[in-house]
Amino acid sequence: MPPTDRAVDILLVGGGVASARCARTLRRNGFDGSLLLVGAEDRAPYNRPPLSKELLRHDLPDELLAAEPPSWYERRSIELRTGTTVERIDAHERLATLSGGDTIRFDRALIATGAEVLRLAVPGADESITLRTAGDAAGLRRAAVAAGTAAPVVVVGGGFIGLEVASSLAWLGLRPTVVELAPVLWGGTLGVELAAWATARLSRAGVDLRLGARTSRLGDGAAWIGDERLPAAFVVVGVGVRPRTDLAETAGIRIDDGVMVDAGQRTSHPAVWAAGDVARIDGRPRIEHWHAAREAGERAGLSMSGLPVPPPPAPWVFSEIGGASLDVVGTAEGWDEERWLDRDRTLLAYLRGDRVVGLAAIGGAIAPTEARRLVEAAVTPDEVVVTLH
């Protein structure tokens, strides 16, 4: 078919939870104009946290991943264009060009293009597995099943994704080894106390850890640390992501380690908003987690509707490490002391002076909503302890 030229009121660029939440917020607040959501994957928006957890351990049906039920978009007159990318945005003309050549004129647009995984710059890196999409997770699960019980595997990267993948592979009966460049897990950003807990937890779960080690090459059924060969049925690499800012950058929108936005997710162009992993709020560090993307999409929807926008809440990430749940709330930057707040060492506070700027809760030691309230209020450690009784 020849390319077409059409117009919509709001164009949502990106098929993730930020776009889905923005659409929901717009409709919930009475917006009845035309909405078009364009996503590169061949499926409606879905939740990514299970990719390294439940979806890797079990063969889950698609509906359990979906950000919204399949019929939700049609019932709310939200048009989906899956398997399609936006190749260019002309912000001045308010014109988007899609793969295939179609052009979309818009009144307002949201850029929620997410991030792309980083690759190791070593020989053989192309043979490794990365995890970003449901298709990646399905491929990784197939590789794990094919490798069989007790097969050695290597996971490069000791951050959340790497540790969750290693935990899931150990649960499946494989023998994972995590190779992390830093001397402590999470690159030290979450301190030595939580890293020590995670190290012990992972070891009990059957995960070998190589800390302070640099991967030098991959291939021939192995990963190499210098001259040491680590046998591996396959290698998973989880060493971070970079925001997909190309679309915004070519549109002349301000970029600085992400698309710069205000508290309402508005970019330097008044007709364009950005949310999710691609966006950076008021110069703060980018938050690359599901809760942040979901909440940013909601703020963008409120801002597009001309409604009051609440300030961004304290960051919150949920993880599973060696079979134990872990909630981390608040900033991991700028603290100067770590302190366990209970005898069982299930609640760790990050302090700046005498104020709590972050909390890490193991096994549901405190509800995340309560942890957020306490961190946002900058309470003292004693005030946190009082809430536990």
Shared-domain flag, residues 104 and 184: no
- Kindly report the CATH number assigned to the domain that includes residue 355: 3.30.390.30
The pLDDT of residue 247 is: 98
Chain mean position to CA 229:
31
Shared-domain flag, residues 70 and 93: yes
Classify 117 in phi/psi space as left (phi over 0), alpha (psi -120 to 50) or beta.
Answer: beta
Q: DSSP for 46-59?
A: B--GGGGTHHHHS-
Shared-domain flag, residues 103 and 251: yes
Across the chain, mean pLDDT equals 96
In a domain, 311, yes or no: no
Shared-domain flag, residues 84 and 166: no
Between 135 and 4, name the one with better pLDDT. Answer: 135
pTM score, whole prediction? 0.95
- Kindly report the CATH number assigned to the domain that includes residue 46: 3.50.50.60
Domain edge (last residue) among 210, 237, 264 = 237
Three-state DSSP state, 87? strand
Shared-domain flag, residues 148 and 223: yes
pLDDT 10s digits, 2-29: 667 899 999 999 999 999 999 999 999 9
Domain count, the chain: 3
Domain edge (last residue) among 204, 237, 270 = 237
Q: In this model, does residue 1 exceed pLDDT 60?
A: no
Shared-domain flag, residues 112 and 246: yes
Shared-domain flag, residues 9 and 103: yes
pLDDT-derived band at 283 (thresholds 50, 70, 90) equals: confident
Give CA–CA dist 261/146, Å, rounded. Answer: 45
Q: Which domain holds residue 105?
A: 5-116+241-304
The pLDDT of residue 347 is: 98
In a domain, 313, yes or no: no
